[in-house]
Amino acid sequence: MDDTARFETDPFLVLLTDALRAGPGSPQWHQAIEELRARNLQDADEYRLICTVREHLASGREYRSIRPGPGFTRKVMQAVEREAERIGRRPSVGTVIAGLGAVLVLATVVALAIRLVGDSQQGQVPDELAGVFAGTIIAPRDLAGGVGPEWRTIGEAPVPSRDRRGLLAARVPRTDMPRGSGLATAAGIAPSQMFLLEATLGLTRADEVPDVQLFVADDGDFSRQPQASSGGRELVAWLSAGQLKVVRDGKVVGSAPKMADKRQWNLTIRVSSRHAIVEVDGRSIFKGEHGLAADRPRYAGVRFLTRGQERTEALWLQSLRVLKP
């Protein structure tokens, strides 16, 4: 067998070749030296022992070379093509940015349209609705002397204050669900009739007192809920802890800044067949459609909401009246 064949088939010579490739100090080098000494060559210098292997390696002979097998190039190109197709299916950064820009433009247009529609609805409020109501009193003003026949009790009956300042919220046991007590007009008001609901509230503090709601409803049945709310739609001016908000059909549509130090509130709701204006101390905080049914009578009134733990004597209804032109 010639030297070339021996270097390719003899395990010992292959080990020596690996040792030379790895270099002195490597695990392959130490393994080769131990193998040489185990063959009774312990007196030989390690460099001399593998001299023949070094010379053979220096001759340029390749050992254990790795070459691509058949079809290697074709497989690489197919993988490249698949990756290109996968990337091509992804939207580009420019496409994504353009799409987001279009969405933002559309959202801006929609918001502007909604605002313009709202402004146009407010502009449709009749001028006479914002004028002075100096006409007939449908329900009297002063409550210090008690409640007249024009009013009826809803929910728990309000109680007169001891100093005759007005009406207080009913005293109820502690409960998690607010309970209503208040007054509503005894008779319905025709849906075509323009009118004004006016209330004056006094209080000694803004916190730990019942909530108060001045309302106009299109249903006269207030017995279905503990809060003494009607079964129909309502427009409500809601005073809670010094904050006044306007609620239409369960949604807040207007509000006033919180005034915790305010000790007297003058609230009005002006109503026409379609529109309403809610004011506090003569300043409008809502002007637009009231959302009440066009073919049903209106019922106006006020109610306290309490959980039985508020200081009912700290807030009172001083006056309540309904006017028509």
Q: Which of the two residues, 112 and 238, has the higher pLDDT score?
A: 238
Query: What pLDDT is attached to residue 114?
Result: 47
Paired tokens of 149: 């026949």
pTM of the model: 0.60
Mean pLDDT of 30-48: 64
Per residue in 55-70, pLDDT tens? 555 555 444 444 555 6
Please report, for residues 78, 141, 165, the alpha-carbon distance to residue 314 in angstroms, rounded to integers and kept in the order given: 84, 21, 11
Question: Given a cut of 50, is residue 263 above it in pLDDT?
Answer: yes
pLDDT-based confidence at 290, cuts 50/70/90?
Answer: very high
**Domains recognised in the chain with CATH numbers:** 3-67 (no CATH), 127-324 (2.60.120.200)
Query: What pLDDT is attached to residue 73?
Result: 65
Per residue in 66-82, pLDDT tens? 455 566 566 656 765 67
Residues in the chain: 325
Question: Given a cut of 50, is residue 116 above it in pLDDT?
Answer: no
Query: What pLDDT is attached to residue 80?
Result: 58
Burial class (CB in 10 A: 0-12, 13-18, 19+), 134: exposed
- How many angstroms separate the CA atoms of 186 and 153, rounded? 9
Query: What pLDDT is attached to residue 122?
Result: 44
Q: Give the amino acid at 135.
A: G
Mean pLDDT of 21-28: 74
Percent of the residues in the chain that have a pLDDT greater than 90, as a whole number:
38
Q: Which of the two residues, 32 and 235, has the higher pLDDT score?
A: 235
Q: Which of the two residues, 49 and 116, has the higher pLDDT score?
A: 49
pLDDT-based confidence at 45, cuts 50/70/90?
Answer: low
> For the chain, what is the mean pLDDT?
78
Query: What pLDDT is attached to residue 305?
Result: 95
Question: Given a cut of 80, is residue 179 above it in pLDDT?
Answer: yes
pLDDT-based confidence at 158, cuts 50/70/90?
Answer: very high
Burial class (CB in 10 A: 0-12, 13-18, 19+), 233: middle
Query: What pLDDT is attached to residue 27?
Result: 79
